[in-house]
Structure formats: structure tokens, C-alpha cells
Amino acid sequence: MKTIAVLTSGGDAPGMNAAIRAVVRAGLDKGLKVMGIHRGYSGLINGEIFEMDRHSVSDIIHRGGTILKTARCPEFKKLEVRQKAAQILKVYGIDGLVVIGGDGSFTGAKLLSELGVKTIGIPGTIDNDLAYTEYTLGFDTALNTVLDAINKLRDTSTSHERISIVEVMGRNCGDIALFSGLAGGAESVIVPEKDYSLDEVCKTILDGKQKGKLHNLIIVAEGVGGANELALKIEDITGIETRATILGHIQRGGSPSAFDRILASRMGARAVELLMEEKTGRVIGIKGGDIIDLDTNEALAIPRKFDEKLYEIAKSLSY
Ligand code: ADP
Ligand code: F6P
């Protein structure tokens, strides 16, 4: 292994920059030449490749987003496009590629590895939707961003004695909703993994009001969606003024938390070690506090398990 490259792909996530920094610095430390690729697979097939040094990653550990930019590149699903990508990497003398992204990006990396490029994936997505790892980069920061928003909404909600419905991101994964609901003391958490009853949600609200609760906070995962419609229905049933807030892309930005920076640094350093060991087609994760790596196909085949226990705790503490 002489030359490696790093790219970010799919939705950006806080902590991606810290991971880029770790890959670049760990690579240089091991005597490798390190290249950066702009705009994910799209930049790769357009040859947007440049050499990086220690200074290229100065002053980025605390920044959200990704200095390498990110993109979605649907054409990468075509074999001939991946063959072109492998050829371009060969021309640049790149033997190993670190891909920071989610499951789609990992699938692209695995397919690329079948064309002779050594690839290692680092999980970067706020959704926390990869079953093989307990945490993905960006999840913890997004969670704290949601919490900050919830705290603010609680102030105005309490003042007006209103119900507040907050829709959070996560695609089909309810983790951002569940974790923020628990940490934010929400009365109800609605996630795609669990059926919910509107009557039960309204009963919780009305019981709470009777007990003297000053506000009601309901977190809805985007995989369920429909926060505005839900607000109208709840207002209609309970007779209590209700407002919906869809947090949107604000959840993807911001300075990464200490947890995400440390995780990114550990994963970036491990990615370089794996490439030095000539490993390929693998993805990195964290389990029980340890950094792990698995074959990409095996990792992506693990079914996602919803944290029932945490859901029950959130429910039992909510009234
Ligand atoms: P994420 O990596 O966050 O899951 P996407 O699903 O949008 O985000 O995937 C990011 C990119 O990964 C896609 O734009 C595409 O370039 C590549 N990709 C996704 N799925 C595949 C696939 N089946 N084969 C090859 N490349 C893929
Ligand atoms: O995967 C991260 C994520 O923010 C999801 O939570 C959300 O569904 C999606 O990306 C939004 O994608 P876009 O940035 O393309 O609107």
C-alpha cells in the first residue's frame, strides 16, 4: 500500500471532517501518500482528485459538513461507470480507498472492491440506521441539535399551554426520534418501527393536562411523517392548541460533539491500519466500546433491531 484516497458520499454528517482528518494524518504518519476526492463517486469518475497534506486538514475537526463535499451519483450503480472509476484510481496510483457514508455508499465501495480497489467504509450518517454498528458518525451531534430545539420548543409550548409536535429525520429508522424523545422528556414518541394509536396519544395528553402538565411534546420520526396533519387531528380530538415543527436539514449541520469527533478519529485511524494490512471490502463500526470491522455484505445483511427496551423506558417515564 503506497497511496490511499478518501471521499465522502451520500448525506453529509457532523464528524465527517474529523474522520477525513484522521484518515489523512494517520496515512501520512504511516508514510503513505494521501489523496482527497471531491464530491463522492461523482467526483471520482470526473477525476476530481488532489493530494492532501497535514495542513489540508488543519482547523476542520470542529466543523460540520464535509470539506470534500458530498454528492449522490446514481450512475455508480452501472458496472461500466465503476470500471471507469477503478481505471481512474489506477491512473492516480491509488491502491486503497476510504469511503465515508451510509449503506448506499458502502454498497458502491464493495462493488468497487470487486474490481481490484481496496476499500474500507466508515459509517457517516445522522440516521444511525446501520445494524452492525451501535453508532454512526453524526448521530450523537444530530441528537444534541434536536435536544436543543426541543428545549426551546418546550419554553414556548409551556407559555402557551400548547401541544408541540416535532418531526425529526432518520429515514426509516426511528433512533433520532427515540433517543431525543427519551432525552427530551417527550410525552410520546412515534417511530416507524412501532404501531401507534392516535387515541392513546391523545389520552396521554389529556391525562397529563388533568395532572397539571404544562405542555405536551410529541416526537415523530420522518419515517412516519405527517406532523402537520397529525397536529390538526390532535388539536381536533383534544381541543388543545397544537403546533408542528419539522426540524429538517438543521439536524445535519453544526459542530460535531466530542463523542462524534473521538469516534471519527478512532475509525479513521483504524481504516488506515486495515488498508496497511491489505484488507478490503470491509466496513468499520463500534460495538461495546470497541472498534470493529466486518465484511461489507455481512454487515449490511444484519437486520436492524429496534431498541424495544429503550422504547419501553421512554414510555414508562413519559407521564
Ligand atoms: P448513503 O450512503 O447515505 O446511504 P445513498 O443511498 O444516497 O446514501 O448512496 C450514496 C451513493 O452511493 C449513491 O449516490 C451511489 O453513488 C452509491 N450507491 C448507492 N447504492 C449503490 C449500488 N447499489 N451500487 C453502486 N453504488 C451505489
Ligand atoms: O440520510 C440522512 C438524511 O438526512 C435523512 O435523515 C433524510 O431522510 C435525508 O438524508 C434527506 O436527504 P436530502 O439531503 O437529499 O434531502
pLDDT digits (tens, 9 = 90+) for 142-201: 999 999 999 999 999 999 999 999 999 999 999 999 999 999 999 999 999 999 999 999
Q: Which long-range contacts (CB under 8 A, 24 or more apart) does 76-85 make?
A: 76/41, 76/42, 76/45, 76/108, 77/108, 81/45, 82/108, 82/111, 82/112, 82/115, 83/115, 84/45, 85/41, 85/44, 85/45, 85/112, 85/117
The CA 114 to ligand 1 mean position distance, Å, reads 16
Which H or E run includes 233?
A: helix 227-238
Residue 108 in any domain: the answer is: yes
Closest residue by Cα to atom 16, ligand 2, is 249
From 236, 252, 268, the end of a domain falls on 252
Find out whether 162 is annotated in a ligand binding site: yes
User: Which ligand 1 atom is at minimum distance from the Cα of 127?
Assistant: 3
Closest residue by Cα to atom 10, ligand 2, is 11
Please confirm, yes or no, whether 207 is among the known catalytic residues: no
Residue 219 in any domain: the answer is: yes
Residue 17 in any domain: the answer is: yes
Looking at residue 236, its pLDDT comes to 97
Q: Is 206 exposed, middle or buried (0-12, 13-18, 19+ CB in 10 A)?
A: middle
From 228, 252, 276, the end of a domain falls on 252
Q: Quick one: 77 and 160 in the same domain?
A: no
Place of cell 422504547: 311
For residue 29, the enclosing domain spans 3-138+256-301
In contact, 187 and 218? CB cutoff 8 Å: yes
Q: Name beta bridge partners: 52.
A: 34
β pairing state of 290-295 and 282-287: antiparallel
CATH of the domain at 284: 3.40.50.450
pLDDT digits (tens, 9 = 90+) for 72-131: 999 999 999 999 999 999 999 999 999 999 999 999 999 999 999 999 999 999 999 999
Q: How far is CA 71 from the centre of its chain?
A: 15
Q: Maximum Cα–Cα distance for the chain, whole Å? A: 71
Q: Quick one: 41 and 159 in the same domain?
A: no
What is the CB < 6 Å shell around ligand 2?
11, 125-127, 169-171, 222, 252
| Averaged pLDDT, 239-254 | 97
Q: Quick one: 89 and 232 in the same domain?
A: no
Q: Give the number of C-alpha atoms closer than 13 A to the C-alpha of residue 208, restricted to the C-beta side.
A: 24
| Catalytic site residue from 12, 95, 127, 175 | 127
Q: Quick one: 193 and 241 in the same domain?
A: yes
Find out whether 82 is annotated in a ligand binding site: no
Contacts of 54 (CB under 8 A, 6+ apart): 24, 25, 28
Q: How far is CA 104 from the centre of its chain?
A: 12
CATH of the domain at 213: 3.40.50.460
Does this model's pTM top 0.95? My answer is: yes
Looking at residue 318, its pLDDT comes to 86
Q: How many domains does the chain divide into? A: 2
Q: Quick one: 124 and 10 in the same domain?
A: yes
Q: Quick one: 16 and 98 in the same domain?
A: yes
Share the mean pLDDT of the chain: 97
Is the CB of 102 inside a 6 Å radius of any atom of ligand 1? yes
Task: Name the grid cell of 119.
Answer: 476499500
Separation CA 192–CA 209 (nearest Å): 27
Residue 306 in any domain: the answer is: no
Separation CA 60–CA 298 (nearest Å): 33
Is the CB of 10 inside a 6 Å radius of any atom of ligand 1? yes
Q: Quick one: 93 and 73 in the same domain?
A: yes
